[in-house]
Structure 1
């Protein structure tokens, strides 16, 4: 049976690269999309086709000989299934975040990079963990009931811009930049964690025994009880989601979300404040992998150090942007945070013990 992949972004490319490496005898006929739009014509030398055009070329019998792997964000997969049915395709399967992460784990283990947390031996000492899941009053309600682990706390971000309280904890308490949420997105939550948790004593165990992190209300690291026991005894510094691949590189990807003037402002901010990172950035941008979503779990000391590096760069970027950050609300700083997180942890990969796990998406 022929195989096609529905999707033409990071999920789809990641699935293709993993399948090509792990199952080389299984070839992919094409990538499918609803509309070409800004999608590339080829991914990995495999053509990207519009579904309507592709379906028109096939008989009903031929459609039944094609299996379609839906490799897109999960929230759009039900609609894609309905569209495939309408075009006469009957054999399709969803690639949910759990399956995608499992495939990425096998792929990266084969290539010897982006070490999975689950590859480490299970320890005996449970660390102190506190993850804050960013949630806004603008967020759509989840369709499924999600039972959060006892170490995950809901954090209302952008609370300063809203008269409605949706969480016991808001990012407008203590020292904060809650009012900038329209540009910083979930990063106003990370700023709040930095100033109000990382700069204070949170546990008697000491910094190296504590892990703090940021998640989103519908995206968070999937940590098993064994994974938690792996952290302290293996001296893990950082847990990140498996990075998303983009083609030809992540430099091309940022243009989908950021204006060139804003990007140049960020580059200038890096050059002024962190010239050694500005020097390393071009090489990082030439590789394929980007850490998405600003989701992270790290030792208290490591996360504090990262925040001390990140937020001055973002603040200076706001000052250099045209229009300036206080004159707009388009989440551009949040998108920049993903690129800067990628730069920081790739540059420090030899210094820090970085491991990876699934970033679970809830619908």
Structure 2
């Protein structure tokens, strides 16, 4: 029975991290002697009391085990990591090739999913003497090895002779463990990660033996020339020593009750942070969203914002990206360096998106939904400008930001392409609006590439959970349809020059927009003459078609960025790839659908529909 027993399960942390919060799970900072400040307020630190915190570069999480052994009195001791926990439920979850349950992020529901709580630990300890990570059959893991000793020799950066020295130390100083060491080393199974929960007497016995073995090893092995990873050898050996200790216990008592548990590996445990304004006054928050592959094209957009900025305003730029590389972050920061009135920050949105199924299509990616997260990412900003990355700013966006959106949820421009579709260019869109969207006034459908959000009203209307829930419905135009549907009647319309979608392939106006009302056509033509923001909406982009409508503005900005050669090389590669086939295709199309015929006009409309 574990009733009224003290259970302490320590979560080893060496950097700021989100951890499971429960009464028996206690985070402890490892290697604290090397940190000027504690990782978080009130966290236990392994450099107090009797400790070996200074050995953390070699001993890894063992400095937390040593600290608990010497400084904590409990009935049960357990250890896990900030990224690894036990699956404490009766459910068996799929594993990766190394035997881990993979979870991309630590989310609010993670602890519940895997039963990581005191109420699930207590019954297990009532039934078992020892909880440990599930043994893995080494013959089934990636790599050409069959035994633990072979696996250690195969491991990158480690030295095979260190494993042998461990065995020699056991033979010479702890011969009662020799048989267990040989059984383990010549077998095919191993538990990893130094994770366990055991009774006090067992824990004290284990630590007394473990640290004695490692102390002798460190005295006999000169590691002064070891790499950073090889210096962690004592920690690596401890994983093997735990297995040897367990086998020894089983040799002493065949009735010992051991429960093997699956290990949950959390790939990202960063805190879900919110962003305060970058500037104390005159702060203009501007949000973009892109994945790492899109950064070269986004750089032109960023450069255009810089070029048309004013030192009298402060531009708080935030790029939401799930995977932007450090290299690209550094390059983009370099572009804004020297501009005291411009700040550029990056935000990983994935912890906020767990569990949602967001639909994408050929040229609309998951990133398009990130605008729904702005109200939580920037909780101190009640007005935020959102810009798509496939556009060029041709005027100071501070002018747009001054727009009064009081009483509205957002400000945006009409979408002349969509209005042309429902005006007769695409009968299917007419039906879609009537049967699926069911807008009260489809003539007010707006384009979502440039939006000035009234985030105060957005928060009042719906939580991000509600917005993402709406986005799970597979609408034709994804988040744009969601915003039009749930913001209808509360939109302030901007002059179309603030989001001028280009005349893609010089056909969008003649084949689609010409079906919209005369008022919309006139707005489009005026905006096209003097666009404040040029938006390359659709599948045809200026980096693929430099000769397309207004593409010259993109290339003008791109030439000033560090990515010009990269985009140019991509254009050359793609051009060479398609050149051989495009001529033949054009020849066949011209024969079947001759230019300047009704048949060709119909084909052009179909083409525009498919590539919109």
What's the TM-score bracket when you normalise by the shorter of the two chains?
Answer: 0.5 to 0.7
Match of 2:124 in 1: 231
- How far 1:190 sits from its partner (Å)? 0.7
| Number of the residue aligned with 2:9 | 131
- 1:60-116 superposed Cα distances (whole Å, 9 cap, x missing partner): xxxxxxxxxxxxxxxxxxxxxxxxxxxxxxxxxxxxxxxxxxxxxxxxxxxxxxxxx
Note if 1:334 corresponds to 2:238.
no
Q: How does 1:27-42 map to 2 (within 5 A)?
A: none
Work out the CA distance in 2 between the residues paired with 1:226 and 1:152: 12
Alpha-carbon spacing, 1:220–1:305, altered in 2? closer, same or farther (3 Å):
same
Mapped partners of 1:242, 1:325: distance in 2 = 34
Q: Residue 246 of structure 1: which of 99, 122, 138 is its match?
A: 138
SS in 2 for 1:180: helix
Distance 1:129 1:327, change over 3 A: same
TM-score, normalising length from structure 1? 0.57
Within-5 A mapping of 1:1-363? 125=3, 127-137=5-15, 141=17, 146-167=19-40, 168-197=43-72, 201-202=73-74, 210-223=75-88, 224=115, 227-234=120-127, 236-247=128-139, 248-257=146-155, 258-323=158-223, 330-350=231-251, 351=253, 352-363=256-267
Local SS of the residue matching 1:349? helix
For 2:61 and 2:46, locate their aligned partners in 1 and report how far apart those are by CA, in whole Å: 10
Distance verdict in 2 for CA 1:313–1:146, change over 3 Å? closer
**Partners in 2 of 1:254 and 1:172 — Cα distance?**
30
Long gaps (5+) in structure 2: 89-114, 140-145, 268-612
Partner of 1:54: none
Q: Residue 161 of structure 2 aligns to a residue in which SS? A: helix
TM-score, length-normalised on structure 2? 0.35
The answer to whether the 8 A contact 2:138-2:148 is kept is yes
Q: Helix, strand or coil for the counterpart of 2:131?
A: strand
Task: State the alpha-carbon separation in 2 of the partners of residues 173 and 306 from structure 1.
Answer: 22
For the 8 Å contact 2:152–2:160, the answer to whether it is kept is: no
**Post-superposition offset of 1:226:** 5.8
Distance, in Å, in 2 between the alignment partners of 1:275 and 1:324 is 29
State whether residues 160 and 172 of structure 1, in contact with CA within 8 Å, keep that contact through their aligned partners in structure 2.
yes
SS of 1:148's equivalent in the other structure is coil
Distance 1:194 1:326, change over 3 A: farther
Structure 1: gaps of 5 or more residues: 1-122, 203-209
> How far off is 1:325 after superposition?
10
How far 1:306 sits from its partner (Å)? 0.7
- Choose between structure 1 and 2 for higher RCO, CA contacts under 8 A separated by at least 6 residues: 1
1:280 Cα shift? Answer: 3.2
Q: Which structure has the bigger radius of gyration?
A: 2
Give the deviation of 1:264 after TM superposition: 2.7
For 1:358 and 1:348, how far apart are their aligned partners in 2? 21
Partner of 1:215: helix, strand, or coil? Answer: strand
RMSD: 2.5
Change over 3 Å in CA distance of 1:261–1:322 after alignment to 2: farther
Give the CA deviation at 1:268: 2.4
User: 1:231 and 1:171, CA in 2 relative to 1: closer, same or farther beyond 3 A?
Assistant: same
Q: 1:62 matched to which residue of 2?
A: none
Query: What's the CA shift string for 1:30-75, capped at 9, x where partnerless?
Result: xxxxxxxxxxxxxxxxxxxxxxxxxxxxxxxxxxxxxxxxxxxxxx
Residue of structure 1 in register with 2:299 after alignment: none
Offset, 1:289 = 1.2
Q: Distance in 1 between matches of 2:133 and 2:258?
A: 10
- Aligned residue-pair number: 225
Counterparts of 1:330 and 1:175, CA distance in 2: 23
- Preserved CA contact (<8 Å) 1:250 1:285: yes
Q: Distance in 2 between matches of 1:279 and 1:246?
A: 20
Contact 1:221/1:357 (8 A) holds in 2: yes
Deviation at 1:244, TM superposition (A): 2.0
How far 1:278 sits from its partner (Å)?
2.5
